[in-house]
Amino acid sequence: MTTPVLSVQDLTVEFVTRRATLRALDRVSFEIGPGEVLGVVGESGAGKSVTGAAVIGLVDPPGRIAGGEVRLSGERIDNLPAEQLRRVRGKRIGMIFQDPLTSLNPLFRIGDQLVETITTHTDLSASAARQRALALLTEVGISAPERRIDSYPHQFSGGMRQRVVIALALCAEPELVIADEPTTALDVSVQAQIITVLKRLCRDHGTAVMLVTHDMGVIGETADRVAVMYAGRVIEVGAVTDVVRHPLHPYAQGLMGAIPTLADTAERLASIPGSMPRLSAIPPGCPFNPRCPYAYAPCTTIRPELKPPGLRAPAVPGRKVACHLYDPALAPEAAAA
């Protein structure tokens, strides 16, 4: 079997406060293969961005990684010293943030920032690094790169700045790119262009991409697989077509059911009652049980594990769900028997 580019096992992140220790991620596990795009989706507060930050070691105090491990191409990186992890970031892992202005220094020209990143992580000379910077700007769709390379960030539109950030993420030809809401602040036409750039990145470079977003349209157009998160846990994972068309977990069903379609004749969009629990008030058992229309006794006391569905669903390779409804030992049918 091919070694996953990114393997996350039982990752736990906590925030220590004066009153309590809050668990933002609770034993999160997933893998991303070479050239694959994994979409991570869920409501605000589900833990999507914290997962991306934890993978690259950017969880700020009072946050801390309290358990689990992160492996990059088989090598464990979550326990590396800060200086070694800094060298991994940028060279082996690229990052694309939601707001490109957080990644670009407004006081320096675009070309200077690209060249500095390239020379920091490679052995190229300054002149060769500039040529690579021009090639990267061309690759991400910046027109007239010879002229635009000496522009400042404020001279670019939002979509063009995001393209520059993608070029920055690709400078050292990383194995993994983490894209945190890369299209949220862009209009629909620019979103489509950024999606095209990301897909070409995977095809041409074999780069693995972790795409964090709440936009199922972006997931459907870009991702190969999707992981649905809720209250700091992965509650369903599988191929995009399987999860979007036939979601298993009641929360995933609610998410997909809330997406409007051209064939929908209902006067009101479907919604999930209630709201995401606060970190200080996550219920025992399945965290979704107060909002779930199918909740029964085990849901309030026993945590469901992420595993292949044993009941009510066909066996599909890579499909996993954390729900007692699909557990042969705990499903309502078994309880009644």
- Condensed to tens digits (0 to 9), the pLDDT of residues 183-199 reads 776 777 777 777 887 78
| Cα–Cα distances in angstroms (integers) from residue 334 to residues 64, 292, 325, 327, 337, in the given order | 40, 19, 10, 9, 5
Provide the residue type at 179 as one letter.
Answer: A
pLDDT value at position 265? 65
Give the E-state strand segments of the chain in sequence order: 6-16, 21-32, 37-41, 63-72, 75-76, 93-96, 176-180, 208-212, 225-230, 233-239, 320-321
CA distance 137 to 142: 5
CA distance 216 to 197: 18
pLDDT value at position 102? 77
Residue keyed to tokens 């957080």: 102
pLDDT value at position 54? 93
Collapse the DSSP code of 66 into the 3-class scheme (helix H, G, I; strand E, B; otherwise coil) and give the result.
strand
Q: Which two tokens stand for residue 311?
A: 């009941």
pLDDT value at position 262? 66
Query: Which of the residues in the chain have pLDDT under 50?
Result: 334-337
In the sheet that holds 37-41, the strands lie side by side as 93-96, 176-180, 208-212, 37-41, 225-230, 233-239, 320-321
pLDDT value at position 336? 45
